[in-house]
Amino acid sequence: MSDASPHPSASLLERLHALGIAYGRADHAPVFTCDEADRAVPAELGGVHTKNLFLRDRKGSHHWLLVTMCEKSVDLKTLSSRVGADGFSLASPERLLRHLGLTPGAVTVLGLVNDPGHAVELLVDRDVWDAASWRCHPLVNTTTLVLPRDGITAFLASTGHLARVVDVPVR
């Protein structure tokens, strides 16, 4: 993250409104796993249930945010070679806070609002990209939003981030 302060959730919601992005919303107890989120968010809210992994390369010099489906057990070794990275591992909570202004459990594509220097590359699973709408946390893990894919596209355009759509290999 650059010297910009992380956006609070309310500011993010104002940004989505200013961009004309409509969304569904469910407030709930804090969730830290896909299973917890599945129990907390009403199914009728819709949207593909996403899992977000904040990754780093072997040297820790490059970072990626992977948005995939909760049901997938990602083969990080194959994925890293597929995208030309020198190995993948999960980045530490300290790196997550430094680069995206987020804490574990609240990892989200919307965290890219806190990466004005574009230090984080976005990888999106083709299965998620092709979905009509996505479930996303608005920088906190006590709320889930459902945004249409065109809303995700508009949000990414507003941050200057490009989505690299990939076929995510599973273990």
**What are 88-120's pLDDT values in tens digits?**
999 999 999 999 999 999 999 999 999 999 999
Element (H, E) at 81: helix 76-82
- pLDDT tens, residue by residue, 45-67: 999 999 999 999 988 889 999 99
- pLDDT tens, residue by residue, 25-35: 999 999 999 99
Residue with tokens 């009728």: 44
Structural domain 9-166, CATH architecture: Alpha-Beta Complex (3.90)
Please give the share of the chain, as a percent, with pLDDT higher than 70: 95
Q: Is the distance from CB of 148 to CB of 46 less than 8 angstroms?
A: no
Q: Please state the length of the chain.
A: 171
Compute the distance between CA of residue 21 and CA of residue 19 in angstroms, rounded to an integer: 6
Q: How far is CA 11 from the centre of its chain?
A: 17
Domain boundaries defined on the chain: 9-166
Is the Cα torsion angle 109, 46, 49, 132 positive or negative in sign?
negative
